[in-house]
Structure 1
Amino acid sequence: MPLAASWRASLPNTQFAAPDAPLPHRYGHQWFIAEGNPLDPTRIRTAREAFDGLMNDVVRAEGFADAHARIAFVGLSQGSIVALDAVASGRWRIGALVSFAGLLPPQQVSSASRDTPVLLVHGQRDTTIPATASTLAAAQLGAAGFKVELEIEPGVGHTISSSGAERALTFLKQTLAGGAFPAVEHTYRGSDQDVDIGFWNIEWLANRYDQPAKLDGAVSQNTTTKLRGYRATMT
């Protein structure tokens, strides 16, 4: 179920958008090349530069340069990876972050953004990025002082389930209720590698995934991530 369709009625004053990730892929776009070692430090640095540049452009264009607390990032797969990295590194202090089926790249987590509430949602049957990646991310962020909520969904693979989307909606409504202009970002890992950023009263979300089977197929073919090195780093 596309987030735009499922969230619009509950966030009536929110507008959604979907700027593309910078790198081309046969299915659309991507933040970094998934083949080989996707957690290579060079790839992470390149993705950071691309993410920060794109986010800063959007934030400035929409008038939120001095209001990052009104912004939330919501990511899926690669979108979750770059969003989690942006917050965990201390580069972005925002109002909330939701990660679907993501992981936290190996790094020393900064406490600079610990006031950003984080929700991690992961399918227990995810064979692309195992759910243990979100469990490890929750432990890392929690140790750095972040308020983290973790939801492992039985029977769900590498996707956003309807229950996961509802869980995220509840989280965002709770965490952003105190601000006049909270914002939401989401990145799909599907036929188009998008980063969707939403703003309260400046809403933006691409309604691109009206065929769940197509999205699931693209996910299974497009996001093989080897976590051997990541696990070694974490243990």
Structure 2
Amino acid sequence: MSADHEVPPQRSKALALLPSDAKPELLFLLFHGAGADAAQMRPLAKALHEQYPRAAVLSLNGPEAFDAIPGGGSGWQWYSLAGANDENHGRRVADALPAFIASIRAWAEQFELPWPRVALAGFSQGAVMALEAVQAELELAGRVLAFGGGYATLPEHAPVDVSIHILHGLEDPVLPSEDQVDAAKRLVQLGADVTADLLPGIGHELHPELVKRALEQLQSFVPARVWREAMQAAQELEKDPDA
């Protein structure tokens, strides 16, 4: 059983799938692309809820009206793309991060869930924000699913205890897949927990095959943090088998 409804505006406009009979055990926060809205992420939200019925899955609207195209529709954005270029893009993302991070913290607090049980998933601009948020803030989320988006600036350190899943179409004309390959290679060199799935025949879209692959990664990929904790527990048991 689940509840599918609008969250009150004072808690940030969102579409939500919530367990109706128990407190959520996980929290997935979903972030759309520029010029879209929370509904763009509904296919992913539905898939996550089916796989994790005890999770709270929220698809949030960006805080600003889309302004990159005059009269460009009623969509939203996480930061402005009007006049954006390689020189100012990183600064715009950095300026938007404090409010973005505060929103994530607020939702985790509302559901009383610790950061390892919080996962961020974004498409395009939403993916940029999710990736950069865990770079900038410690103990914010345990996982990031980045669909059709990348880093504003190539990472200089691995996010601590965060599993990064990059999911991208090889035919993406907006954000070239080569950039995501470079980012994944850099993260591996830095010692990050990262997977990268780049699928042929897919452009700049939240494609069902990318969603399917993301769900497989969530089920099969064990974070290094979990392995480390398990190894520590095993070592302690060996030292004191009666503990």
Q: Please say whether Structure 1 and Structure 2 have the same fold, judged by a TM-score greater than 0.5.
A: yes
**Unmatched 5+ residue regions in structure 2?**
1-41, 67-72, 227-243
User: Once the two structures are aligned, what percentage of the paired residues are identical?
Assistant: 25
TM-score of the superposed pair, with normalisation by structure 1: 0.67
Question: Which residue of 143, 162, 166 maps to 1:116?
Answer: 162
Distance 1:49 1:89, change over 3 A: closer
Distance in 2 separating the partners of 1:108 and 1:3: 26
Q: What residue in structure 2 maps to residue 153 of structure 1? A: 199
Counterpart code for 2:148:
A
State the secondary structure of the residue aligned to 1:9: helix
Distance in 1 separating the partners of 2:213 and 2:126: 18
- The C-alpha deviation readout for 1:152-175, integer Å capped at 9, x for no partner, is 110101111111101101111234
Counterpart code for 2:48:
W
Q: What residue in structure 1 maps to residue 111 of structure 2? A: 62
State the secondary structure of the residue aligned to 1:63: coil
Distance in 1 separating the partners of 2:54 and 2:147: 24
State the 1:15 CA deviation.
Answer: 2.4
Q: What residue in structure 2 maps to residue 14 of structure 1? A: 55
Q: Which has the larger radius of gyration?
A: 2
**Unmatched 5+ residue regions in structure 1?**
180-235
TM-score of the superposed pair, with normalisation by structure 2: 0.65
Counterpart code for 2:171:
R
State the 1:148 CA deviation.
Answer: 1.2
Question: Which residue of 65, 80, 99 maps to 1:24?
Answer: 65
- The C-alpha deviation readout for 1:181-235, integer Å capped at 9, x for no partner, is xxxxxxxxxxxxxxxxxxxxxxxxxxxxxxxxxxxxxxxxxxxxxxxxxxxxxxx
Distance 1:70 1:38, change over 3 A: farther
Distance 1:162 1:60, change over 3 A: same
Counterpart code for 1:11:
Y
Structure of higher RCO (CA pairs closer than 8 Å, 6+ residues apart): 1
Size of the aligned set, in residue pairs, is 176
Distance in 1 separating the partners of 2:112 and 2:85: 33
Distance in 2 separating the partners of 1:127 and 1:133: 12
Distance in 2 separating the partners of 1:150 and 1:168: 10
